[in-house]
Structure 1
Amino acid sequence: KRSPQECDRVAMELLEKVGIPEKAKFYPIQLSGGQQQRVAIARALAMNPKIMLFDEPTSALDPEMIKEVLDVMMDLAHDGMTMVVVSHEMGFARNAADEIIFMDHGQIVERSTPDEFFRAPREERSRLFLSQILH
C-alpha cells in the first residue's frame, strides 16, 4: 500500500505524463472531455498495468480533443506499453499498431500488419470498410 505522499507524487508524475499537471486540483466537471480521458489514462497507469484496453477512447470527444488523447496513447506505445485498442481512428491504428485485427459483427475478418492491411487488404470486407472510411 502506498502512503498518501507517495500517491500524490505518483499522481502528479502521471498527470505530467498525460500533459495536464495543472489540472490536479480540478473536478471532472471542470475538465474538457479530452482532459477527462487523459485523467482516466493516468488513473489506469497508476495501477502499473502490463496491458491497457481502450474501447473507442475518442468516440465521445469533440474533434478538437481527439488529437490530445491520441498523442498520449502514441506516447504510451512508444514507451512500450502493450495496448489493445478498439478504434475507428485509422491514422492512429496505422501508426501505432504492431498488428491490425479487423472485425465485423463479432468475427475476425482479417489479421495482418498495418502496412499489409492499409496497402493491400486481403478480404473484400476489409477493402469495403477502408474505401468508406478513408476518403
Structure 2
Amino acid sequence: MYEVRKGVSELTFVILRELNFDLTFGHPFDLLAIYLDILRSWMPEEFAKYPIADSCNAMLRDCYTEPDLVLSHSSTSLAIAVISLVLKGIDVDVPHSHDWFEVLHKSMTEQRLRKIETEIICDVYGLELRKE
C-alpha cells in the first residue's frame, strides 16, 4: 500500500511540474453572471419574460461535458458564446446594439463568436448545422 501512495505522490509532483505549479483556472461562470447583469440592465423586460439566466447557466454547465472546449477558449469568449446562443434560441435581440458582444469584450469578433457557437452546437449537443 505504501508503494501505491508513493507512486501517486510522485505522479502528482510530475503533473505539478508540467503545469509550472500554476493551478489557477478562470471559470466562465463568474463572467457569465457579470455579463448577464449588464444585459439585464439593458433589457429588463426580456429577462422577466424569458428564463435567460437559467438557460445560460444550464448551457454553460453542458459545455463542461466537453473539457477540451472549455479549456481551448477563454472564459470571456465561452460566456459570450453561451449568451449569444441562448438569445438566438429564444429569438431575442439586444436592443440598440448589433455587436453587443464587442461591448463586453473588445477583442471578440463575430467570426470568432460563430466558431465557438458552432463548436458548442456540434460538440456538446451533437447537432449538425445545415449548409446554406
TM over 0.5: no
Q: Normalized against structure 2, the TM-score is what?
A: 0.30
Q: Normalized against structure 1, the TM-score is what?
A: 0.30
User: Whose helix proportion is higher, 1 or 2?
Assistant: 2
